[in-house]
Each structure stands twice: as C-alpha cells, then as structure tokens.
Chains A and B, each alone.
Chain A
Amino acid sequence: MQQNVVVLDNGGGLIKAGLGGDRDPSTIIPNCLYRPLSSKKWLHPSPSSDPIDLTSAAVRRPIDRGYLINPDLQRDIWAHVFSSILHTHHVGPAHSALLLTEPLFALPSVQRATDELVFEDFNFAALYVADSPSLTHLYEASRRPTGLISRAQCSLVVDCGFSFTHAAPVFQNFTLNYAAKRIDLGGKALTNYLKELVSYRSVNVMDETFLMDDVKEKLCFVSMDVTRDLRIAKKSGKENLLRCTYVLPDGVAHTKGFVKDADEAQRYTALDEGDDQSQKPGTSMDWDQAHVTEKIEERKKTDLTKNEFDLTNERFLVPEMIFHPADLGMNQAGLAECIVRAVSSCHPHLQPLLYQSIVLTGGSTLFPRFTQRLERELRPLVPDDFQVKITSQEDPILGVWRGGSLLASSPDFEGMCVTKAEYEELGSARCRRRFFH
C-alpha cells in the first residue's frame, strides 16, 4: 500500500505542511501561539476565516535561533496542524510517513527531542529528515531538466529565512555541509530592527511584531546605492522619493495597519531605472543641520496628532543588514562574502559551476532588488573568468516544501526513511546517521 506522506517544512516563522505529491502545502500558519490583549489564553493562529486582532499580542515560539527548543509547545502546534491535514483523509500519523525539514547542524539534543516528538508523541510510521538546501536544489533541478543546475547536479543555495541565513553548496542532491556558511540574521532580526528604528524615531511599536512584519513586507527594499539613498531620504516634500506613510490600526474600523498611498510607496522604483543618469556621489551632499531639524519637527507633528507614521531611510537600512551585518556591530561578514566563503570551501572544479547556479530561497529574499544588489556586490569578489548567475525562486516561501513534496512522491522515498521499529531498536543517534552520507 502506498503510504500517505506528510511533508512538513517546520520553519521558525511559518509552518508549511501538506501531503507529498501535491503542488502546494494545504496549511501555512505561523509557527507560534499568540496571546492577544483581549485574551488570557494562548491561541493558535487562525487560518483566515476568523482573523484575530493581533495588536500588541504576545508570542511564544517553539523555535529559537532556528532550532526546535520547546518540544511541548511544538507538539501543541503540530497536533493542530496534523489534525487539519490528515482529518480529511481519515488516516492518522500511525499510517503515515513524515518528511520533516530541519536546519543544518542541529544539535544532537535537538534531534533527539524531535525524534521523540515524531515517533513517541505522534506515532508516525516512518520519518525522513531533510535540509532546505537539498530540497531547494531538487525542486529547481526538476523545474528545468535541461538547465545547468540539473545537468551539473550542483547549485549554491542561499536560504535567507526567519532565523538565519545559510549559503550551502549542494552536489548530487546532498548538501555539502563542510562548506555551508551561516550569517546569524534572518527575517525575525530584521523585523526587530525595524521596530527599534521606528520606536526610536516616531511611535512605540516594540510590542507590534505582526504589524511590523507587515510594514517590512510591504515597504522595505534593498538599496542599490546607500549613500545616494540616504541623501534622498533627507530631502523634504516631493523630492523625497523614499518617504511613505503607514496607517496604524485603530481597533475599530480596521484591525490591521495599511500603506496609506500605494503610489507614493512605489516612487523609489524610479531611482534606478535610468541608472546612468544618476548623480555623481559628492556633488550635492547636503548634510546640513537645517534639513535634519526641519524633518524631526515635521515628524513629531505627525506622530502626535495622527494614527500613522512616516518611513524614509528605514525602508532600506533594514534589509541592508543582510549585506553589512558589521554596521550593526556584528562581527560577521555580509551575504556576498558568505557566498564566496561557501564556494571557496568546495573542490576547485565545482567552483565555477556553483557561481553560475546560485539559487535564492527563503522569505527574506523577497525584498525588491535583493537579487540585483547581491549580484552587484558579488561580481567584484568572483574571479573574472567565472560567470555569476543568480536565480530567485518563483515562490521563495514555498520552494523548500515543493522540493519536499517531490521527494516524498519519488519511488525511492520509502527506502530512505527510518521506520518506527528501527527507531525503537536503534535509538535516535544511530537512525540519524542514515540521513547523512
């Protein structure tokens, strides 16, 4: 009998879950519990039918810095997820296999706790643990069977997710973990940084995780020229192509915030269209005091009287961290150097192929101009005779899950799993060796 395979991409931010063989996951929910102001209880995120007001809601997450550290909380959330996926199929976990994603370099204690959850709490019949780079590679290779990634059987996967960012080479469907490199920054830190900037400068949003996620997703972008954009951000009136306004929820007419003027928010895109006409740096640097003073006065006025705030340079200073963590005081290299270090750790024959097969995945790669900026920073660091080609995934949030769904429906899948009986006989550590090469 062909088993059900539940495919679970267990992200620190979002859970993507569904049945193997499907094109898309049937459930996408935040991997957390909320406690809204109106409630004493911790609630499961509701799928959409009944949106709850998340203003100032507290959050509990089972995942810390990318890894599952709170199995009790994760059990709660998974039970909720599995009941909605498996419910309609009238089969329980005992008759299903689980394909679960886990970040690279999970500690043995984390792996043990995960295996206990899967086999002892949920009684799954079998388990396969996959990492996101190999699933991303699999999906991209299958989409273009004649493309380079598929022919050379290798790619360099950059996964910029919720908890951290990895650059990891994949060769013949296996992640070369000796060459993988990590930056300790992801979407969560970016949202927190945006909260900090906005709270410092206009209105206190330190408790507004969900609101600020929305602001980040709708208004942040990657700058192609930070010095120029800082200068533009200081201009007043219509000349400031970067300024835009976000309206806070009022709790009555609207429980969610929104971008006040969508056209205004898009004006920045004019900046890099005619790239050659751009001003030479240093020609009109006006760091003068008057402007700054005026701007702060202006902001104070808006903040106190209206239920909204302006953003200017925050829009690009936030994603900028991925490219220059040192600006924050972190002693870590940025994304371009991270990629170079990962590639340089591989066999010299692989290196030119990897630079031509860079794949971007993860929600934090969705910032407008992420790819262009990365290419601009990477090119000077790569030998001249190597090509650089960066592909962004069609859907960087679902790409890993789709790879998992493909793998789960392949004829080899069953043989790759560890069964419950094997787990009971061998224990977690020995079973885990099976998933690595």
Chain B
Amino acid sequence: MDDDASNPLRRVSSRTRKVASKMVAALASTDNRTQAALARLEALENDNAGIETVEPNDEDDDSLDEDDQVYMQKKQSKSMKRKTRQAKALEARKAPKTFLELLHEANLESLPSHVPSYLKASVGPPISTSRRHFCTVCGSAAKYTCVRCGIRFCSCRCQNIHNDTRCLKFVA
C-alpha cells in the first residue's frame, strides 16, 4: 500500500490533480515555452475557464456547506501521511478519472502492432512542418517570439500588450 508514497502527487484529490499535472510538466521541463505551449493546448479541452475543478457527483453537492466540507476534507487529506481505505474509496467515487488517466491505465502500448487502437488512429505529424504564426494579440502574421513564453506577436505595440496582460498566463 506504499506505492503512493513514492509519488505524493498521485494521492491528492482531483481538485488539485490538474494543478499537479501542470507542476509535473513544469518540473520535467525547464523550458517555459514548451510548458506554456502544452498548457495552452490542454486548455482547449477544458469545459470551464481556468483550472478545472472536478466536483463530487452526488445530488447533494449543491449546498455550500457540503462543498466546503468536501473541500476541508481534501485539504486535510493532503496533509495526512496516509489515507484510510474508506477515504480513498470515497475519493474514487467522487472524482471520475479523466480520459487521459483511463488511457494510461489501458496500457495500449502493449498491444501487438497490427491491432488498431486509439493511439494508432492518431493522424500523426504533418508532412510539411511549416507552421504559420499569427499574432496572439491582433491575429496578423507574427514575426516575433516572446523570449519568456514563446507566444508570437507582430509588433512592438502588440508585444507591450502581451507583456502587460498575458505573458506567462498559462504557466502561472
């Protein structure tokens, strides 16, 4: 039962799991640009803005008190060394796994190479790798790249707007 001791991020609730996955990406890559690009792509699949919170499934999750309670419990569990089985079961029921977690569990890599699968159906990289760059501020053709986050802009003016309001937005 000690498997999760090696990976403290595994244990925390799904509310923090999303944040955690971004942190893992951040730790794995010292490159802010890569990180920002990944976070931006991931955000395109979000249902709600910002970092997604996965909320409990029960009907009675609607009252504020209940929400608070759940939140309290999760906060507490984060600080606990080890959770009870009951708490784990509760958490499993309350937080459905994301598709990417289910995909990881399915271990499709181990299938023989002739078996069609989700992984093999991906279209794969384009033949021509030329990427057109559009200014993230105004949409024009973008010649310049922000050295901090890798996002594109077309002019000094757009660069200033970028720096003032959105640089590293997806990393923070």
Please report which residues of chain B, range 81-114, place their CB below 8 angstroms from some CB of chain A when the two chains form the complex: 96-100, 102-103, 105-106, 108
Q: Mark B43-87, 1 if CB is under 8 A from A, else 0.
A: 111111110000101000011100000000000000000000000
- For residue B41, CB closer than 8 A to chain A, the reply is yes
- For residue A107, CB closer than 8 A to chain B, the reply is yes
Q: B170 CB to closest chain A CB, in angstroms?
A: 10
Contact assessment for B47 and A181 in the assembled complex, using a CB-CB cutoff below 8 Å = no
Tell me which of B43, B45, B116, B158 contacts A178 (CB under 8 A).
B116
Contact assessment for A69 and B157 in the assembled complex, using a CB-CB cutoff below 8 Å = no
- Sorting the interface of chain A by its residue count into under 10, 10 to 19, 20 to 34 or 35 or more gives 35 or more
Which B-chain residue is minimally distant from A321 (CB atoms)? Answer: B44
- For residue B27, CB closer than 8 A to chain A, the reply is no
Complex Cα distance, B125 from A408, in Å, reads: 39
Contact assessment for B57 and A69 in the assembled complex, using a CB-CB cutoff below 8 Å = no
Complex Cα distance, B50 from A296, in Å, reads: 26
Please, which residues of chain B bring their CB within 8 A of the CB of A65?
A: 45, 99-100
Decide yes or no: A333 and B138 within 8 Å by CB, A69-B97, A72-B96, A289-B155 being known contacts: no
Contact assessment for A287 and B122 in the assembled complex, using a CB-CB cutoff below 8 Å = no
- For residue B117, CB closer than 8 A to chain A, the reply is yes
List the one stretch of A54-62, A138-146, A252-260, A416-424 in contact with chain B. A54-62
Q: B94 CB to closest chain A CB, in angstroms?
A: 9
Please report which residues of chain A, range 51-91, place their CB below 8 angstroms from some CB of chain B when the two chains form the complex: 58-61, 64-67, 69-73
Please, which residues of chain B bring their CB within 8 A of the CB of A193?
A: 44
Complex Cα distance, B105 from A107, in Å, reads: 10
Please, which residues of chain B bring their CB within 8 A of the CB of A233?
A: 139
Which A-chain residue is minimally distant from B158 (CB atoms)? Answer: A292
- For residue A429, CB closer than 8 A to chain B, the reply is no
Tell me which of A66, A109, A287, A324 contacts B106 (CB under 8 A).
A109
List the one stretch of A116-124, A214-222, A334-342, A386-394 in contact with chain B. A334-342
Contact assessment for A313 and B139 in the assembled complex, using a CB-CB cutoff below 8 Å = yes
Count, chain B residues at interface, CB 8 A: 54
Contact assessment for B116 and A192 in the assembled complex, using a CB-CB cutoff below 8 Å = no
Q: A337 CB to closest chain B CB, in angstroms?
A: 6
Please, which residues of chain A bring their CB within 8 A of the CB of B98?
A: 64, 69
Please, which residues of chain A bring their CB within 8 A of the CB of B134?
A: 230, 313, 317, 327
Contact assessment for A332 and B141 in the assembled complex, using a CB-CB cutoff below 8 Å = no
Contact assessment for B126 and A326 in the assembled complex, using a CB-CB cutoff below 8 Å = yes
Q: B93 CB to closest chain A CB, in angstroms?
A: 8
Q: A246 CB to closest chain B CB, in angstroms?
A: 16
Tell me which of A182, A326, A337 contacts B121 (CB under 8 A).
A182
Tell me which of B48, B121, B132 contacts A105 (CB under 8 A).
B121
Contact assessment for A201 and B41 in the assembled complex, using a CB-CB cutoff below 8 Å = no
Please, which residues of chain B bring their CB within 8 A of the CB of A107?
A: 102-103, 106, 108, 118
Q: Mark A144-186, 1 if CB is under 8 A from B, else 0.
A: 0000000000000000000000110000000001101111110
Tell me which of A67, A105, A196, A341 contacts B102 (CB under 8 A).
A67
Tell me which of B57, B97, B108, B123 contacts A333 (CB under 8 A).
B123
Complex Cα distance, B48 from A79, in Å, reads: 24
Decide yes or no: A230 and B140 within 8 Å by CB, A105-B116, A296-B157 being known contacts: yes
Complex Cα distance, B131 from A228, in Å, reads: 18
Please, which residues of chain A bring their CB within 8 A of the CB of B102?
A: 67, 69, 107, 109-110
- For residue B30, CB closer than 8 A to chain A, the reply is no
Which B-chain residue is minimally distant from A109 (CB atoms)? Answer: B102
- For residue A234, CB closer than 8 A to chain B, the reply is yes
Tell me which of B40, B57, B124, B126 contacts A70 (CB under 8 A).
B57
Closest 3 CB pairs of A and B: A206-B49, A313-B139, A105-B118
Given A61-B47, A207-B49, 14 more contacts at CB 8 Å?
A64-B99, A71-B96, A72-B96, A73-B96, A104-B121, A109-B102, A110-B102, A166-B121, A182-B123, A206-B49, A287-B140, A287-B141, A332-B123, A332-B126
For this complex, 15 residue pairs linking A to B, each with C-beta atoms less than 8 Å apart, are: A70-B57, A70-B96, A71-B96, A72-B96, A73-B96, A105-B117, A105-B118, A182-B123, A192-B43, A192-B44, A209-B48, A233-B139, A324-B132, A326-B131, A329-B37
